[in-house]
Amino acid sequence: MSRWLDFDRRLREVDEDIQKLERLLAAPSISEERRSQVRAQIAEIRQREEQIVREVFSHLTAWDNVLLARHADRPYTLDYIGAIFDDFVELHGDRRFGDDPAIVAGLAPLEGRTIAVVGHQKGRDVKERQFRNFGSARPEGYRKARRVMRLAERLGYPVVSFVDTPAAESRLEAEERGIANAIAENMLVMSSLATPIVAVIVGEGGSGGAIGTAVADHVMMLEHAIYSVIPPESCAVILEAFGRDPKRGPEAAEALRLSAQRTLELGAVDEVIPEPPGGAHRDPGGAAERVKKAIIKAIQRLESIPTETLVTARYAKIRNLRHYEEQ
Amino acid sequence: MSRWLDFDRRLREVDEDIQKLERLLAAPSISEERRSQVRAQIAEIRQREEQIVREVFSHLTAWDNVLLARHADRPYTLDYIGAIFDDFVELHGDRRFGDDPAIVAGLAPLEGRTIAVVGHQKGRDVKERQFRNFGSARPEGYRKARRVMRLAERLGYPVVSFVDTPAAESRLEAEERGIANAIAENMLVMSSLATPIVAVIVGEGGSGGAIGTAVADHVMMLEHAIYSVIPPESCAVILEAFGRDPKRGPEAAEALRLSAQRTLELGAVDEVIPEPPGGAHRDPGGAAERVKKAIIKAIQRLESIPTETLVTARYAKIRNLRHYEEQ
Amino acid sequence: MSQHRPTDNRSGAEAVPEGLWTKCRQCGNMLYQPEVSDDLYVCRHCGHHSRLTARQRIAITADEGSFREHDSAMRTSDPLDFPGYLEKLREDEAQIGLRDALVWGECTIDGIPVSFAAMDFSFRGGSMGAVVGEKFVRAAEHSIERRIPLLVFACSGGARMQEGIVSLLQMAKTTAAVGQMGRAAVPFIVVYTDPLTAGVFASFASVADIVIAEQQSLVGFAGPRVIERAFKIKLPPGSHTAEFQFEHGMVDIVVSRRELQPLLVRILRLVSPRREADAE
Amino acid sequence: MSQHRPTDNRSGAEAVPEGLWTKCRQCGNMLYQPEVSDDLYVCRHCGHHSRLTARQRIAITADEGSFREHDSAMRTSDPLDFPGYLEKLREDEAQIGLRDALVWGECTIDGIPVSFAAMDFSFRGGSMGAVVGEKFVRAAEHSIERRIPLLVFACSGGARMQEGIVSLLQMAKTTAAVGQMGRAAVPFIVVYTDPLTAGVFASFASVADIVIAEQQSLVGFAGPRVIERAFKIKLPPGSHTAEFQFEHGMVDIVVSRRELQPLLVRILRLVSPRREADAE
Ligand SMILES: [Zn+2]
Ligand SMILES: [Zn+2]
């Protein structure tokens, strides 16, 4: 169903082969002749690998992107924060009810300026995933993010938002404390916050849970991230067009145009950040480097705009999305 | 211990006598002669009553004021709202967690303009008292008040705050949801809200629970209301000066200067509104009329001031309270 | 903003299924059709509030003959070229007589001019796509230009998934427009009606100045059945209702449909005092 | 604002009771006096954090010799002429060497200039009257004038009841001053230390940009014993602590005193980036 999934498995096998050969190289007993043989072998495998990567990634399906965006090895928000910033002082709590670990927020230095960072954090292992509620934020998470963004506005720091969530938490406790209100108020505040906002969808940009921290002057998206109104499986279950069959998620993904390029063309994001060959999880450092450069470039541009102009332009961008016909 | 308390009891007896006589007057069988006798009797009692009232009220103690402020028949916020405004659309909820009936908030018309009203509501009978938590507000109450005050700011309505609370709710649930933060954020917002704010302490202005809705351009206080950092009984329990004896509350009340006049002299309120003879509870309509006039006068004055000047002056008033020596 | 197309504000009655008698969905009692609209589509027997079409809502809310619809011709461009979407739209258009799930215009209510929008759950489940978003924003802009309140009746199943990411963005677009109203100091009143969920509840409908809800309306971020299915849990009775949202501080006032109109008039008088004075 | 009175920032050590050995209040172990300040007044055996006087706090926080106190002579005017109040003040003055419960001034921390205030629980239970309020506001104004962060160590039993309504008003006064800092875009950092309750917790200390708390500090609106007595209830263990407040979202970071200084330096570097650049 996913070409990429098979390919990802094969690629890992190739990686293992290379590792084996590299261990061979490192052995002291190896002869100089054998060594150069092995080197050539490695180079050949690598070339083949690159070719395969290029080939497979040149025609990924929407469903491939869904699987890539959800890949368990994909770098998460805290990975990006750790790689991009020299320091990060995490702030906690919404000053109302609690602290939601599904959203992290804090201050970080970036080339001489201070940035307010917010982002969903999915969690790497089983324990962290539970702690982080799989990146599904509760009202407290959105309110913490809002508090830190207001702090950024007050003190004149740009905001960087990392978006990576399957969806906002929707169970009863979240409903009771106003998850809908929390998302809506965040969008309201972000739509007129008097400081530059940059958002990066790094993995799953899941519906209301995502847009609740993704209203920004410059919205970027990693090449294999997804930004979707609904998980494709759920879409397939709901719509007759897909026989109400969750297995037809890949078709729904295609219908929903889940690719960064199409998302860009539809005007929902302003820039696509290319990932390292094979996807961000194959080179987290390289991915972070690209994200960092894109963030810095965006902030530099936004910083040069007077705040009032910035806020007006942000509203105009959000408001002027069309996609309708007037008769 | 309270001259006024005995007096209040006596006064009620006198009232009953008058009522009896008035019933007599209404009887169809009464002769014209007897009727004029009764009329004279009533007039004499009334005169005596007025004299007693004047005499007793001319030298009320601080403790008398405490008892008057807490009097079970004293008009409460909703009584004032009902008497002062032709309509009142009550708004509910903090958009975060719940609705606190200990604080009411809403919109009301006042001489052609719309006012945002907030106020503690103690509750008249046992059932309402429990429902209203005796006027001890939870974080939700302060946050509801803040929400409605922000609405007032946005739409350009003056705010009127009625203050009448023994104290903010302090039990564990209130602590968990940030009662301290709720009070502090209210003061923060009120100290720079871009619309006129008038506060009236109508009964008990109890400590943090009171000041959490009493930061205003013009703070008024009814003649027998109290505005205190601590209930005098608690003060007596804590301080050696009163032998840590709750029964010495009257002494503590004296030491705390619990009179509207002294509160005015200390700069804590800007105006004292005289109550009808015998206290607001003896003539709720008359009390409301006086409060209404005072509110209208204050708002008219404040409306004529440019908003920026208003907010600057409000801060200056709050900031410039002195009572220290620099030697 | 420029297309003023007067419509008969009673035409909504046509959307009611034909026949002299109709059955109450809650108690099963038969209702005599000619009385139904006089009763505001509330069952005489059990008080059940029927869902109203946008036209029915306009008919029972706006002063008679005062409603002038704007942008009635606006249609989605089907930005994703989504399978089967256009066909479904054409079906709903034919059946309901609307081109999308929100009708907006200007009208007076008890003589007070308002910018007015009503969503229609019968059109694609009241879902919000590019047209609903744009019409909402135009209604907001109209209220800013004219300095009159915006009154919106909201019912919706959420975002219009056939418009994909475009529909998600309407959440930000409509909410940002509410921010513009705030800055322009024009009041925004929303009435939650049955059912209101997901993307509309979690956007403009949650940030209104005053939130009213019709009693017993289903109101929630996720529909209760969606949650029960997804998390395999049983929800307590009464969750995700207007009353539940009121209890949790999300709604200002819950009312029956009979009480709604006088309440709206009181509120509109309060938030349009100068207008009222002008009219006198 | 004008009185720059240099003080020896190590003089706080004198406030520690004399004698070579002192007993830990938590575990009862004996602590060797000369080591106590090196240990930041944290017990070597059980980690108990002793309460610090304002001078001790300054000594372990400010760069050595950098603290310049302001307004050290300020005294309350005893606005209520409250029975026995002046005598108590004179006692505390004599014993603690302060004229009220807050010391403020300017200093550097790791070279970064800050406006700095520390409250002293040993002076009238760290209660806030006219002097604490005024000094806090002056510290805030100093940070606005100099465009440097304000760092405040807060510990307090609440309002100074002997100053009656005047002490209550300090809640509004200090909180309003925080609003001024917000408008002037200067950062305000507060550290909650044991114990922090009532009027100070419910005013400026709750509206700081960043809230840090020393671990295990008592932090609450009403002290737990006050509540247990007043409502005749038993509170669960661990309520009204720094950790409890963190759990409920009221505190950004809970730290041990050993971790505090490096954290403050990191934060001050972040919130004073231009200052840092200037210094280089
Ligand atoms: Zn029925
Ligand atoms: Zn110890």
Amino acid sitting at position B16: E
Please answer whether residues B73 and B112 qualify as being in contact, where contact means their C-beta atoms are separated by less than 8 angstroms: no
Contact between chains at D246 and A97 (C-beta distance less than 8 A): no
Q: Is B247 left (phi over 0), alpha (psi -120 to 50) or beta?
A: alpha
Nearest to D203 by CA among A270, A274, B212: B212
Per-residue pLDDT, averaged over A158-183, amounts to 97
Per-residue pLDDT, averaged over C182-193, amounts to 97
Per-residue pLDDT, averaged over B40-63, amounts to 87
Tell me whether strands B159-165 and B218-222 are parallel, antiparallel or unpaired.
unpaired
Amino acid sitting at position B136: S
pLDDT digits (tens, 9 = 90+) for A72-102: 999 999 999 999 999 999 999 999 999 999 9
A95 touches chain B (CB under 8 A): yes
Q: Specify the length of chain B in residues.
A: 327
Per-residue pLDDT, averaged over A313-318, amounts to 98
pLDDT digits (tens, 9 = 90+) for A173-222: 999 999 999 999 999 999 999 999 999 999 999 999 999 999 999 999 99
In three-state secondary structure terms, A75 is: coil
- Say how far apart CA D250 and CA B179 lie, in whole Å: 10
Neighbouring residues of the ion ligand 2, judged by CB less than 5 Å: D 24, 26-27, 43, 45-46, 48
Exposure on the CB side of residue B125, measured as CA atoms within 13 A? 1
Exposure on the CB side of residue D189, measured as CA atoms within 13 A? 23
Please answer whether residues A179 and C221 qualify as being in contact, where contact means their C-beta atoms are separated by less than 8 angstroms: yes
- Say how far apart CA C188 and CA C211 lie, in whole Å: 9
Q: What share of chain A is helix, strand, coil (3-state, %, to 5)?
A: 55, 15, 30
The domain of D234 spans: 51-279
Retrieve residue B140's tokens. 């939700």
- Residues C92, C45, single domain; the answer is no
- Say how far apart CA C191 and CA B143 lie, in whole Å: 22
What is the pLDDT, as a whole number, of residue A3? 67
By mean pLDDT, which of A47-61, C243-257, D161-175 is the weakest?
Answer: A47-61
C180 touches chain A (CB under 8 A): yes
C96 touches chain A (CB under 8 A): no
**Nearest chain C Cα to A324, which residue?**
C76
Please answer whether residues C161 and C79 qualify as being in contact, where contact means their C-beta atoms are separated by less than 8 angstroms: no
CA distance, residue D77 to nearest chain B CA (Å): 5
- pLDDT above 90: percentage of residues in chain B: 80
DSSP A223-250: TT-EEESS-HHHHHHH-GGGTT-GGGHH
Chains touching D (at least 3 CB pairs under 8 A) are A, B
Please answer whether residues D208 and D241 qualify as being in contact, where contact means their C-beta atoms are separated by less than 8 angstroms: no
A286 touches chain B (CB under 8 A): no
Interface D:C, ≥3 CB–CB pairs < 8 Å: no
- What 8-state DSSP symbol labels residue B99? -
pLDDT digits (tens, 9 = 90+) for C72-119: 999 999 999 999 999 999 999 999 999 999 999 999 999 999 999 999
pLDDT at C13 over 60: no
Retrieve residue A109's tokens. 């230095």
**Nearest chain A Cα to D209, which residue?**
A151
User: CB neighbours of D229 closer than 8 A, spacing ≥ 6?
Assistant: none
Across the interface, of C250, C266, C273, the residue whose CB is closest to B93 is C250
Largest CA distance in chain A: 79
**Nearest chain D Cα to A94, which residue?**
D249
Nearest to B112 by CA among C209, C272, C210: C272
- Residues C29, C76, single domain; the answer is no
Q: What is the CATH number of the domain that holds C106?
A: 3.90.226.10
Kindly list the residues from chain C whose CB atom is less than 8 angstroms away from the CB atom of residue B116. Answer: none
- Of the bound ligands, which one is closest to the alpha carbon of residue C25? 1
Kindly list the residues from chain A whose CB atom is less than 8 angstroms away from the CB atom of residue C198. Answer: 208
Across the interface, of C182, C263, C270, the residue whose CB is closest to B109 is C270
- Residues D155, D87, single domain; the answer is yes
- Say how far apart CA B139 and CA B143 lie, in whole Å: 6
pLDDT digits (tens, 9 = 90+) for B131-143: 999 999 999 999 9
Q: Which fold has domain B67-319?
A: 2-enoyl-CoA Hydratase; Chain A, domain 1 (3.90.226)
Task: Count Cβ atoms below 10 Å from residue D30 Cβ, excluding itself.
Answer: 11
Retrieve residue C194's tokens. 């049955």
- Of the bound ligands, which one is closest to the alpha carbon of residue D29? 2
How far are the Cα atoms of A12, A15, A20, A22, A46 from residue A38, in angstroms, in the given order? Answer: 19, 15, 10, 8, 12
DSSP D64-130: TT--EEESTT-EE--TT--TTHHHHHHHHHHHHS-SSSEEEEEEEETTEEEEEEEE-TTTGGG-B-H
- Say how far apart CA B134 and CA D14 lie, in whole Å: 49
Retrieve residue B30's tokens. 């009464």
pLDDT at C11 over 70: no
CA distance, residue A32 to nearest chain D CA (Å): 51
- Residues C109, C36, single domain; the answer is no
Task: Count Cβ atoms below 10 Å from residue B6 Cβ, excluding itself.
Answer: 11
Nearest to D252 by CA among B155, C18, C64, A91: A91
- Say how far apart CA C141 and CA C151 lie, in whole Å: 13
pLDDT at B58 over 70: yes
Across the interface, of D251, D267, D277, the residue whose CB is closest to A89 is D267
CA distance, residue D250 to nearest chain A CA (Å): 5
Amino acid sitting at position A232: P
By mean pLDDT, which of B63-67, B205-209, C265-269, D12-16 is the weakest?
Answer: D12-16
Q: Specify the length of chain A in residues.
A: 327
**Overall domain count for chain C:** 2
C225 pLDDT band, cuts 50/70/90, is confident
- Residues D133, D245, single domain; the answer is yes
Q: What's the pTM? A: 0.94
What sign has the CA pseudo-torsion D100, D102, D103, D104?
negative
User: CB neighbours of B285 closer than 8 A, spacing ≥ 6?
Assistant: B83
In three-state secondary structure terms, C151 is: strand
C131 touches chain A (CB under 8 A): yes
Task: Count Cβ atoms below 10 Å from residue B112 Cβ, excluding itself.
Answer: 9
Contact between chains at A180 and C250 (C-beta distance less than 8 A): yes
Task: Count Cβ atoms below 10 Å from residue B146 Cβ, excluding itself.
Answer: 22
Determine if the peptide bond prior to C195 is cis (ω within 30°): yes
Domain edge (last residue) among C50, C66, C82:
C50
User: Which of A96, A97, A179 best probes binding to B when mutated, by most B CB atoms within 10 angstroms?
Assistant: A96
Highest mean pLDDT among B9-13, C1-5, D126-130: D126-130
- Say how far apart CA C118 and CA C135 lie, in whole Å: 10
B54 touches chain A (CB under 8 A): no
Q: What mean pLDDT is reported for chain A? A: 94
D255 touches chain B (CB under 8 A): no
Contact between chains at B155 and C187 (C-beta distance less than 8 A): yes
- Say how far apart CA C37 and CA C27 lie, in whole Å: 18
Amino acid sitting at position D92: D
Contact between chains at D270 and A91 (C-beta distance less than 8 A): no
Kindly list the residues from chain A whose CB atom is less than 8 angstroms away from the CB atom of residue C248. Answer: 175-178
Task: Count Cβ atoms below 10 Å from residue B265 Cβ, excluding itself.
Answer: 12
pLDDT at A35 over 50: yes
Number of helices followed by number of strands (H, E) in chain A? 14, 9
Nearest to B8 by CA among B83, B94, B71: B71
Contact between chains at D167 and B326 (C-beta distance less than 8 A): no
User: CB neighbours of B317 closer than 8 A, spacing ≥ 6?
Assistant: B217
A178 touches chain B (CB under 8 A): yes
What is the pLDDT, as a whole number, of residue C224? 83
What is the pLDDT, as a whole number, of residue B9? 80
pLDDT digits (tens, 9 = 90+) for C55-71: 999 999 999 999 999 99
Highest mean pLDDT among B56-65, B118-127, C271-280: B118-127
- pLDDT above 70: percentage of residues in chain A: 99
- Residues D38, D95, single domain; the answer is no
Exposure on the CB side of residue A195, measured as CA atoms within 13 A? 21
- Residues D126, D243, single domain; the answer is yes
pLDDT at B214 over 70: yes
Contact between chains at D74 and B239 (C-beta distance less than 8 A): no
Retrieve residue A170's tokens. 């929707």
Per-residue pLDDT of chain D (280 residues; tens, 9 = 90+): 333 333 333 333 334 455 788 889 889 999 988 888 889 999 999 999 999 999 999 999 999 999 999 999 999 999 999 999 999 999 999 999 999 999 999 999 999 999 999 999 999 999 999 999 999 999 999 999 999 999 999 999 999 999 999 999 999 999 999 999 999 999 999 999 999 999 999 999 999 999 999 999 999 999 888 778 878 888 888 899 999 999 999 999 999 999 999 999 999 999 995 544 444 3
Please answer whether residues A322 and C130 qualify as being in contact, where contact means their C-beta atoms are separated by less than 8 angstroms: yes
Contact between chains at B89 and C185 (C-beta distance less than 8 A): no
- Say how far apart CA A166 and CA A70 lie, in whole Å: 9
pLDDT digits (tens, 9 = 90+) for A248-271: 999 999 999 999 999 999 999 999
Q: What share of chain B is helix, strand, coil (3-state, %, to 5)?
A: 55, 15, 30
- What 8-state DSSP symbol labels residue C159? B
As to burial, measured by CB atoms within 10 angstroms (0-12 exposed, 13-18 middle, 19+ buried), residue A254 is: middle
Place of tokens 């004292």: B272
Chains touching A (at least 3 CB pairs under 8 A) are B, C, D
CA distance, residue C67 to nearest chain B CA (Å): 25
- Residues C123, C106, single domain; the answer is yes
Kindly list the residues from chain B whose CB atom is less than 8 angstroms away from the CB atom of residue D5. Answer: none
C-alpha D67, offset from chain centre: 15
- Say how far apart CA C242 and CA C251 lie, in whole Å: 7
Q: What mean pLDDT is reported for chain C? A: 90
Q: How many CB pairs under 8 A join B and C?
A: 60
- Residues C134, C225, single domain; the answer is yes
In three-state secondary structure terms, B281 is: helix
Q: How many CB pairs under 8 A join B and D?
A: 180
Retrieve residue D199's tokens. 């009027």
What is the pLDDT, as a whole number, of residue D19? 73
- Residues C150, C11, single domain; the answer is no
Q: What mean pLDDT is reported for chain B? A: 94
A154 pLDDT band, cuts 50/70/90, is very high
